[in-house]
Structure 1
Amino acid sequence: MVNDTIVAVRGYAGGNPKVYENATSGDVTTVNLGVTPRYFSRETNRFEDGNTIWYTVRARGTLGRNIQTSVTTGTPLLVRGRLDMREWTGKDGSTMRGLTLFADAVGVELTTGRASFVKVRPDPAAETNGGSAGTVSSADTAAGESTPGDSRWLIEESDSSEASGEPLGPAGIGVPPPAMSPDGISPDVMSADEALRSDPSGGAW
């Protein structure tokens, strides 16, 4: 659409993917993505981290299923998709806002490490059975259960690629994506260093 805002962002997964079952329009896979801009400070004469911006990445179909088996907390990602501001009512009745990326492409960012590529094809038997392996029910989602892999996919062939570069600290790992206040302003998020000091394991939120 002409009025759609299409963006590409680079950041780190703030937790394991979640799957929301929808019998009408198909299952939706979501993962939170933290993006921390860098800027040059004239006061310190060095580059510093800006405020982390959190996006909820949403994907369906093949892309969603592959995200389930490829992304974990801290995975560096490149995401392309349609940007949208979504609103919902919080538990206290206030209006909450958050940025959502309806992804059409997701990849692992290779500046800080390497990844192996595995080409997959649908498993006809699993598709016939109609089961949605690797999904999380609404009760499990509320309890914070992580998403297992999707058994509907078969390995066809594999290849690997490698990239090296100066390591960059994952932005905002272990920090929960903040809900925006009613005026649309997101509270400050601690820097990557502070996040890792508070939770060295980089645990999922």
Structure 2
Amino acid sequence: MNETLVTVVGNAATGVEFRETATGPMARFRFAATPRRWDREKQQWADGHTSFYTVWAWRALASNLAGSVSVGEPLLVHGRLKVREEERGGQRRTFVDIEAVAVGHDLGRGTAAFRRAVRAEPTPTARPAPGEGGAEGSAAPSPEIREQAAELASVS
């Protein structure tokens, strides 16, 4: 499959618009990327032309975006580039979209604190009691995980 995958560094230009649809959660926002270059004559940084994209996200990524991204925040967006042309008001216009695969804060321009999203688990037919072990995804951590957690807690 020939898809154009891109990674763009820029800022959220609008807030995230979130909707529940028949096919699941959907989110979109406008994203601005402005290249900067060093102007040797003026001895200062100069901004280039700003490119705007509409970023689309689905399912868990859409839900996480809605709770994590605000206007102006520095981001990295990775996804499939889609260019489309439409006629609006008698004028032909070009729109550039990115169907996001991953979105994250640009840690070169600030800090972030990651929180794992809690997912609803499907109702299993038979689940072992906590501490009995069992299949992957069991509620009780393995003894090795408990030991590693205890070591990390004693270090900090």
TM-score scaled by structure 1?
A: 0.54
**CA deviation map 1:47-76 (0-9, x unaligned):** 211011111111100001000000010111
Divergent runs of 4+, >6 A? none
Give the Cα–Cα distance (whole angstroms) in 2 for the partners of residues 123 and 20 of structure 1: 19
Alignment of 1:111 onto 2:128: no
Give the Cα–Cα distance (whole angstroms) in 1 for the partners of residues 15 and 71 of structure 2: 5
* Residue 21 to residue 87, structure 1, CA distance change in 2 (3 Å): farther
Q: Report 1:6-21 matches (<5 A).
A: 6-21=5-20
Shift of 1:84: 1.1
Alignment of 1:29 onto 2:58: no
Contact 2:26 2:63 in 1 (8 A): no
Between the two proteins, the alignment pairs up a number of residues equal to: 122
Alignment of 1:69 onto 2:80: no
Give the Cα–Cα distance (whole angstroms) in 1 for the partners of residues 26 and 51 of structure 2: 22
Q: Report 1:1-205 matches (<5 A).
A: 1=1, 3-23=2-22, 25-90=23-88, 92-123=89-120
Give the Cα–Cα distance (whole angstroms) in 2 for the partners of residues 114 and 105 of structure 1: 18
| Structure 1: 5+ residue stretches without partners | 126-205
DSSP 3-state at the match of 1:65: helix
User: What's the Cα RMSD here?
Assistant: 1.9
Shift of 1:88: 3.0
Larger proportion of strand: 2
DSSP 3-state at the match of 1:111: coil
Which range moved further: 76-85 or 26-35?
26-35
One-letter amino acid of the structure 1 residue matched with residue 69 of structure 2: V
* Percent of aligned pairs sharing the same letter: 37
Shift of 1:21: 4.6
Larger radius of gyration: 2
Contact 2:56 2:98 in 1 (8 A): yes
One-letter amino acid of the structure 1 residue matched with residue 100 of structure 2: A
DSSP 3-state at the match of 1:8: strand
